[in-house]
Structure 1
Amino acid sequence: MRVVLAINFNHDGSAVVLVDGVLTGYVCTERRSRLKKHPGLREEDLDAVLADAGVELRDVGHVLLCNLHSMDSPDVEHLHGSDLKETWLEFWVNQLADRVRIRDQVIPCTVNPDHHLIHAAAPFYTSPFDAAMCLAIDPTGCRAFVGRGGRLYELRRGYDDWFTANVGYTSVSVELFGSSIVGAGKVMGLAPYGRSDAIDAADWTAVRTYEDLTRLADAHPVPVLVGAAELNASLAYAVQIGLERQLDAVLADLAEVARRNGVPPNLCLAGGTALNAVANQACFSSSWFERLHLHPACGDDGTAIGAALWHWHHVLGNPRRRPPNAELMYGTARPSATDVTTAVREALSTHGGRVTATEHRDVGRAAAELIAGGATVGWFEGAGEIGPRALGHRSILADPRDPGVATRLNAEIKFREPFRPFAPAVLAEHSERWFGLTDSPFMLRACPVLKEGVPAITHVDGTSRIQTVTSEDSPGFHTVLDSFHDLTGLPMLLSTSLNTRGCPIDETPADALGTLLQTGLDHLALPGVLLSKRQ
């Protein structure tokens, strides 16, 4: 067997094709449907992932159907008025759940491989570690595994008996923002506004229930006005501190297990909770572990990747390989030059009174010059990002020295809450001097900003969630950063996702042009061409 297909049917629907153990096809359903958190896979998405991989359905030797009937949040129905299962491709599974019929093909299958196992598999099998402790946390549980060679073994540690911060974070997200799966990131951004010595010094052994948590926060309220709503930021801070304290305890226990069993100090984190970059870095830094690896798709979009890799290595026994970062960061669907040209022509034909197009041999240098002059620039190149973070292929870029640009981005371009922070992309060779960290290619680690002068990417608590960029990972994006460094002496740019509130990250040139035309964004850089708003 050479070809494995895995599909995630939960929110953040996705599919992956492995050919000889290499990810050759990947789709995230929401990027194509334009419906955020779209679960499952549609017929056209199956066509796309097979075409990207260069295979046909009859070539597939095994199918993994992940997270069937386990949609763990009402958010999809709340967002779209439907659970969207009616959009799924048609398939039939036999009574033994070992064969699936898709279209006219009957293929061996695995139904619902363990959810936390396939979460953990994504970072472990893509890590440089021969052995590691692997931890997967999301609102449905906290589970640990030992990875050795090509296999993953579950640890029976009973964390779910006392690890409650994952559920508490979901509850706070719903209370403050009316949503769990789209509110958690907002809670993390709001948390430092609610910091207080009283909450830090509280008797946390007495905080056992959600009611205990809310009583603690209500006793020390920090109101933050967001539109017409007044939010108690101390509730966000309390649940963030609770998460970090419980994660500290888990990592201390895992360290003891690792020492007893001769596992080196390597840690892999996964699950939706691993998107909490603040907790990731704070708890890892204070732990016994020395090396950390995460996959950029920590959420359920990454379970399809983890399932395919687990089947290839753990079940079939195939040897591991260390994929380059670029293979983990970016998908497989690359818009062609024809796609770009067509989108530009249509924009000029329809909106020629609003935009101009200028061809550039070095569009990265041109973009950097505009940003240095105070402009905001959408940067679009190659395949879109895997996972929810913009990693320089679908990004909005701005000057991190500008103290007013964060307010402008939130109000006029992103249309989101004013407390939401922005992150930097920094040249890797300069990262340690600015942030004390050299290895954060997926923007999943937050650390202190060590130097002044970059207010737009410095959060209220003095930290920033960084992406370290090398020319090997993203040559085109590296050129923009390098050019900005040459022009200004600053080795970083503010980088946020190319989209607006409530919309998935832009996937196609047409999507990106829509963002340019519908927002206060000044320019859009596409391969070889720069589109600019007419003054």
Structure 2
Amino acid sequence: MPKILGISSFYHDAAAAITIDGVIIAAVQEERFNRIKHTSDFPVQSIVYCLEEAGLTIDQLDAIVFYDKPLLTFERLLQTYYAFAPKGIVSFLKSIPIWLEQKLFLKKQIRDGLAEVMSYDKKKLKLLFTEHHLSHAASTFFTSPFEHAAILTIDGVGEWATATISEGKGNTIITKKELKFPHSIGLLYSAFTYYLGFTVNSGEYKLMGLAPYGNPNSDQTKRYIHQIKEQLISIKEDGSIWLDQSYFNYSTGLTMTKDSKWESLFGLKRRQPESELLQAHCNLGYAIQYITEEVVLKMSVFAKAETAAPNLCLAGGVALNCVANGKLLKKQLFKDIYVQPASGDAGGALGAALAVHYMYFDNTRDVDPKKDSMQGSYLGPYYSDKEITILNKRQKAVATKVSSFDILSKQVALEISEGAIIGWFQGRMEFGPRALGNRSIIGDPSNTEMQKKLNLKIKKRESFRPFAPSVLDTDASDFFDLETASPYMTLVSNVKKSIQKEIPSNYHELPLLEKLYCERSNLQAITHLDFSARIQTVHKETNPKYWQLLQNVKQETGKGILINTSFNVRGEPIVCTPEDAYNCFMNTEMDILVIENYIYYKKQQPNWDTKERWLKTFKED
């Protein structure tokens, strides 16, 4: 029964995960504890939690594994700087000393970090390293319900690789093909994220949300697509790409793009963060999303031909592009598609642990074809009455403890039907970037004002960003053109024609905000500009409480569906503790907070209308 701790850190999305005999015991991102979004810090608190959940000490572990091989990354940096010399001298002088001081002595950094967790016998420590893209591949294949699958991993860069095609069979993963730096669809998407005024490594979600505001039929959009293909990228039939590095600065510079060359190419200045969004920005967003989807599809076609596998597993940051995933699903290239819910670097900690369990220790893999092994991705910490009672005393919070969850659920469903916005906090926290009904803000998606209110008064983010629906798994086909489960919110599909509303003939020519508030469906708050939705199907087996709430909502409204967004404000990680939840509740215009069986009404709280007390500013995302 190998006991393995996986770690990701020092880049972004630090995390830890622990497995015992291949079973995932716990997995969590460090940002949830230190409250710094996408933190790169060594995940001391995450490791403490994982060991506590497993009931183990460091000395009882059979291996600790890091999700990346930093020496290979250092080799890439040196070779890249050498190839581009004398360009990049400023970046070289800035980054190499950090590498020499920290990354090259990573074993010491890890050992020192572990010493902060607890004392341990350094002679007993078995410290292993997996390649970055193997960690991604293992995170998705070894948690999938497939015995045999093609595996596609796509991200910015890990060591040398920017994308890999692999074949998974039983307890093995064999890499078939690899795309290497600096040619990367992930870095290309991030370059457009940067150029359109968003933050790299976190703003890619915004770009994906902005793309449907582009006009696919406009001459400008078509010109942008043509210009990107002619000047920036060459796309091969197998999905591999070549990027013209004369337009980019990420290899040796301190920014993503050479702005003057992009301005000449597109006739559009780089957008400054928080400045007005023009239709040209939306059209450029549409263009790069369109090209990303084309590349992902070509890679998938090649993966199918190369492996002859019936199923496909996806991971890496680009696998969180759920629009591309949804379109890939519709092509029906594969019998089924599985996307790791923590596809980014945080999931690499889990993948590293699983790769060592199966491939280093050569353990047999037992697959359940009916379900994956992520346990709904509810792998983080949970909190008892003790912690909630401490919160209530410290904050002098006014709360009512409801005698049973059944009564609580019916009460909350009634409040939702009357327009209330609820902070919903239950059980174990989700692992990965999506809130899946345990750390969620929820409301009625048929309320036409819900999207505007959630964005501006609750989430405090840009008005154009869409919201996702949570729907009973048995009812999903009533609302969406979706024929498969989507428990992790990794697939986008269109809302049914039957609930769509007729839009003006000049819809695509309307200004951004007019387009946003144009009624498109009976579920306005979760229907995006292109009639799509990022869907979470809720299953009784993995989340009985959230499933029961949806059943009660269905009784009240006639629809077993909710709007679901992560429980946080812009720039803040998803809440972890009851204290985090209460602070976020008081810092926004949420109406009601529910923590386990405790219910809090905003207007009953002390100082509920004195926002200055609760206000906390987070770094812009």
Flag whether TM exceeds 0.5 (same fold).
yes
Task: Tell me the residue number matched to 1:80.
Answer: none
Counterparts in 2 of 1:214 and 1:457: CA distance versus 1, 3 Å: farther
Taking structure 1 as reference, are residues 225 and 410 closer, same or farther at Cα in structure 2, changes over 3 Å only?
farther
SS of residue in 1 equivalent to 2:25: strand
Q: Which of 354, 363, 381 matches 1:309?
A: 354
Query: Residue 2 of structure 2 corresponds to which residue in structure 1?
Result: 2
Does the C-alpha gap of structure 1 residues 161 and 526 become closer, same or farther in structure 2, counting only changes over 3 Å?
closer
Q: Which residue of 1 aligns with 2:167?
A: 146
After TM superposition, the structure 1 = structure 2 runs for residues 151-300 of structure 1, keeping only pairs within 5 Å, are 151-156=172-177, 158-160=178-180, 164-197=184-217, 198=219, 199-200=221-222, 202-203=225-226, 205-207=229-231, 208=233, 209=243, 218=266, 228-231=275-278, 232-259=281-308, 263=309, 265-300=310-345
Paired amino acid for 2:431 = I
* Bigger mean CA offset, 323-332 vs 187-196: 323-332
Matches within 5 A, 1:321-360: 321=366, 322=368, 327-347=375-395, 349=396, 357=400, 359-360=402-403
Q: 1:529 to 1:315 in 2, by over 3 A?
A: same
Q: Distance in 2 between matches of 1:151 and 1:448?
A: 36
Using the TM superposition, give the Cα deviation of residue 281 of structure 1 relative to its aligned residue in structure 2, in angstroms. 1.2
Q: In the alignment, which residue of structure 2 is the partner of 1:462?
A: 531
Q: Which residue of 2 aligns with 1:78?
A: none
Q: Structure 1 counterpart of 2:29, which letter?
A: C
User: Residue 617 of structure 2 corresponds to which residue in structure 1?
Assistant: none
Deviates most, 60-69 or 276-285: 60-69
Deviations 1:458-503 (A, max 9, x none): 0011100000001111011111111001111111000000000001
CA displacement, residues 246-267 of structure 1 (integer Å, 9 cap, x when unaligned): 11111111121133xxx3x200
Counterpart for residue 26 of structure 1 = 27
Aligned to 2:59: 58
Measure the CA separation in 2 of the matches of 1:174 and 1:304: 27
Paired residue type of 1:524? L
Cα distance in structure 2, aligned partners of 1:465 and 1:222: 31
Q: Which residue of 1 aligns with 2:492?
A: 446
Offset of 1:66 from its aligned partner? Answer: 2.4
Alpha-carbon distance change, 172 to 205 in structure 1, aligned in 2, over 3 angstroms = closer
Pair 1:365 & 2:410 matched = yes
Matched, 1:531 2:600: yes
Unaligned regions of 5+ residues in structure 2, if any?
A: 78-96, 234-242, 249-260, 501-521, 605-621
Structure 1 distance, partners of 2:288, 2:262, is 9
**Paired AA for residue 132 in structure 1:** A
User: What's the offset of the Cα at 1:46?
Assistant: 2.5
Which of the pair is proportionally richer in strand? 1
Aligned residues of 1:118 and 1:306 also touching (Cα < 8 A): yes
Contact 2:63–2:128 (CA under 8 A) maintained in structure 1: no
After superposing the two structures, state which structure 1 stretch, 106-115 or 406-415, moved more: 106-115
Distance 1:270 1:366 in 2: 39
Partner of 2:44: 43
Alpha-carbon distance in structure 2 between the residues aligned to 1:31 and 1:331 = 13
Deviation (angstroms), 1:333: 1.9
TM-fit CA distance, 1:520: 0.6
String of CA shifts for 1:224-277, please: whole Å, max 9, x gaps: 999643351122111101101111111111121133xxx3x2000000111110
Matched letter for residue 254 of structure 1: A
SS in 2 for 1:123: helix
Q: How much is the aligned-residue C-alpha RMSD, in angstroms?
A: 3.2
Q: Which moved more, 1:246-255 or 1:422-431?
A: 246-255
From 417, 426, 433, give the equivalent of 2:471. 426
Q: Distance in 2 between matches of 1:402 and 1:328?
A: 28
2:448 to 403, 406, 412: 403
Distance 1:42 1:305, change over 3 A: closer
How far 1:179 moved relative to its partner? 1.6
- After superposition, give the CA deviation of every residue in 1:366-397 in whole Å (9 maximum; x if it has no partner): 11111100010011000100100010000000
Among 554, 569, 580, the residue aligned to 1:511: 580
SS at the partner of 1:391? Answer: coil
**Which amino acid in structure 2 is aligned with residue 3 of structure 1?**
K
CA contact under 8 A between 1:7 and 1:16: conserved in structure 2? yes
Contact 1:92 1:101 survives alignment (8 Å): no
The separation in 2 between residues aligned to 1:459 and 1:163, in whole angstroms, is 31
Residue 2 of structure 2 contacts residue 357 of structure 2 at CA under 8 Å; is this kept in 1? Answer: no
Q: Deviations along 1:388-407, whole A, 9 cap, x unmatched?
A: 00100000001100111110
Q: Greater shift after overlay, 56-65 or 20-29?
A: 20-29
1:143/1:159 contact within 8 Å kept: yes
Amino acid at match of 2:27: Y
Gapped runs of 5+ residues in structure 1?
74-82
**How far has the Cα of 1:114 moved from its partner?**
0.8
Q: 1:398 to 1:449 in 2, by over 3 A?
A: same
Q: Secondary structure at the match of 2:583?
A: helix
Shift of 1:6: 1.2
Alpha-carbon separation, structure 1, partners of 2:326 and 2:413: 30
CA–CA distance in structure 2, aligned partners of residues 459 and 226 of structure 1 = 23
Could you tell me which amino acid in structure 2 is paired with residue 279 of structure 1? A
Structure 2 CA distance for partners of 1:101 and 1:277, relative to 1, 3 Å: closer
Tell me by how many angstroms 1:214 deviates.
5.2
Q: Which has the larger radius of gyration?
A: 2
Contact 1:360 1:529 in 2 (8 A): no
Aligned partners of 1:281, 1:215: CA distance in 2, in Å?
A: 32
Distance 1:469 1:24 in 2: 22
Q: 2:422 — aligned with what? A: 377
TM-aligned CA deviation for residue 512 of structure 1:
0.4
**How far apart are the structure 2 equivalents of 1:473 and 1:383?**
11
Inter-CA distance 356–15: structure 2 relative to 1 (3 Å threshold) = closer
Post-superposition offset of 1:92: 7.5
- Give the whole-Å Cα distance in 1 for the aligned partners of 2:222 and 2:474: 35
C-alpha distance in 2, partners of 1:401/1:27? Answer: 33
Which deviates the most, 106-115 or 140-149? 106-115
Q: How has the CA–CA distance of structure 1 residues 402 and 54 changed in structure 2, closer, same or farther, with 3 Å as cutoff?
A: same
Report 1:67-78 matches (<5 A).
67=68, 69=70
Change (3 A) 1:331 1:243: same
Deviations 1:311-337 (A, max 9, x none): 111221112234756625111421112
% same residue: 31
SS of the residue 2:474 aligns to: helix
Q: Quickly say closer, same or farther: Cα 1:449–1:258, change in 2 above 3 A.
A: same
**Counterpart residue identity of residue 598, structure 2:** V
Aligned-pair CA distance for 1:160? 4.2
Give, in whole Å, the separation in 2 of the partners of 1:413 and 1:345: 25
Q: Find the aligned partners of 2:561 and 2:588 in 1 and give their Cα distance.
A: 24
8 Å CA contact 2:451–2:467 kept in 1: the answer is yes
CA 1:216–1:235: 2 relative to 1, 3 Å: farther
Distance 1:303 1:162 in 2: 21
Q: Does structure 2 conserve the Cα–Cα contact (< 8 Å) formed by 1:252 and 1:287?
A: no
* CA distance, structure 2, for counterparts of residue 31 and residue 283 of structure 1: 32
AA aligned to 2:288 is: V
Amino acid at match of 2:402: E
